[in-house]
Structure 1
Amino acid sequence: MTSENHRERFDSNKAPEPVGLYPHARRVGNLLFLSGVGPRQRGSKDIPGVTLDDAGNIVDYDIATQCRSVFDNVRWILEESGSSWDRLVDVQVFLTNMKDDFKAYNEVYADYFKDVQPCRTTVEINALPTPIAIELKCIATIGDEYTY
């Protein structure tokens, strides 16, 4: 594999379009790095579990629904890039309301990740670029496994 192939970029046809100039994922060697992934739906501004007012402000949201949507988006990106859910090695989670949302998020996370259990870091941040309450940044293996 040439060094050019070690830096392949991938864009999913199922996950929501990026909100900036970046790919859904990029392969470097045997690692696949995902850009930040949120719960939005592809081809739409709809965000599962979020109710907005006419000005685009959040009126209400359901963190469990957003979690399921973002996890599904991550799965699509992994699969369309040639990796898979069971090859996740690291997950960074950004929540906008750790105090109110952590318990529900942690329960949904446990359902999705019970058989995989990648490393995980969860942090609270002030805001995300769209009216969402969760975003994931992931690393997975792709291609031949590393031999140690």
Structure 2
Amino acid sequence: MKHSDILNSDKAPEPVGLYPHARKVGNLLFLSGVGPRKKGSKEIPGVTLDQHGNITAYDIEAQCHSVFENVRHVLEASGSSWDKLIDVTVFLTNMKNDFKKYNEIYAQYFEENQPCRTTVEVNALPTPIAIELKCIALAE
């Protein structure tokens, strides 16, 4: 692997660990997990935290729109695009309450391009978010 295969976006939120936003291998682009945080801050759209950093309320719709925007930023910075997504794994922290709304919003974004998709529930994510995407796309 060449270091030049490691790709980052200047518009997507900074990774919370030692990993790139994406890595190109052949004609495939592998995105690291992408959440809804805003670049340059710990702000998470639609999330209210208490003084200890625990989630007291969140809006899955706001998080969905933000995470899809962040994925788009990483794709574009990496020389790919939304229509080149071929596989999406979605992690939700509350499938029972959030799946219906997330599925409706997902359908709006993927009406034209319909990549393979897997949606799983996880107990928690590394930051106080309710959704994270792991994607594979074609690269130029």
Same fold, TM exceeding 0.5? yes
Query: Aligned partner of 2:5: which letter?
Result: E
Corresponding residue for residue 134 of structure 2: 137
Corresponding residue for residue 146 of structure 1: none
Gaps of 5+ in 2: none
What is the rounded CA distance, in whole Å, between the counterparts of 1:49 and 1:10 in structure 2?
28
Corresponding residue for residue 113 of structure 2: 116
What is the rounded CA distance, in whole Å, between the counterparts of 1:12 and 1:54 in structure 2?
31
Post-superposition, which runs of at least 4 consecutive aligned residues in structure 1 deviate over 2 A? none
Corresponding residue for residue 47 of structure 1: 44
Corresponding residue for residue 2 of structure 2: 4
Query: Aligned partner of 1:67: which letter?
Result: C
Q: What does 1:23-42 align with in structure 2 at a 5 Å threshold?
A: 23-42=20-39
Corresponding residue for residue 61 of structure 2: 64
How many angstroms does 1:54 deviate by? 1.1
Query: How many residue pairs get matched?
Result: 140
Q: CA RMSD in A?
A: 1.1
Q: Are 2:103 and 1:106 equivalent residues in the alignment?
A: yes
How many angstroms does 1:89 deviate by? 0.1
Q: What is the DSSP-based 3-state SS (H/G/I as helix, E as strand, rest coil) of the residue aligned with 1:123?
A: strand
TM-score by length of 1: 0.92
Query: Aligned partner of 1:56: which letter?
Result: G
TM-score by length of 2: 0.98
Identity of aligned residues (%): 73
How many angstroms does 1:4 deviate by? 3.3
Residues 7-39 of structure 1, C-alpha deviations (whole Å, 9 max, x = no match): 701011000000000000000000000000000
What is the rounded CA distance, in whole Å, between the counterparts of 1:4 and 1:91 in structure 2?
25
Q: Which has the larger radius of gyration?
A: 1
Query: Aligned partner of 2:70: which letter?
Result: N
Q: What is the DSSP-based 3-state SS (H/G/I as helix, E as strand, rest coil) of the residue aligned with 2:88?
A: strand
Q: What is the DSSP-based 3-state SS (H/G/I as helix, E as strand, rest coil) of the residue aligned with 1:126?
A: coil
What is the rounded CA distance, in whole Å, between the counterparts of 2:123 and 2:40 in structure 1?
26
How many angstroms does 1:132 deviate by? 0.2
What is the rounded CA distance, in whole Å, between the counterparts of 1:108 and 1:66 in structure 2?
10
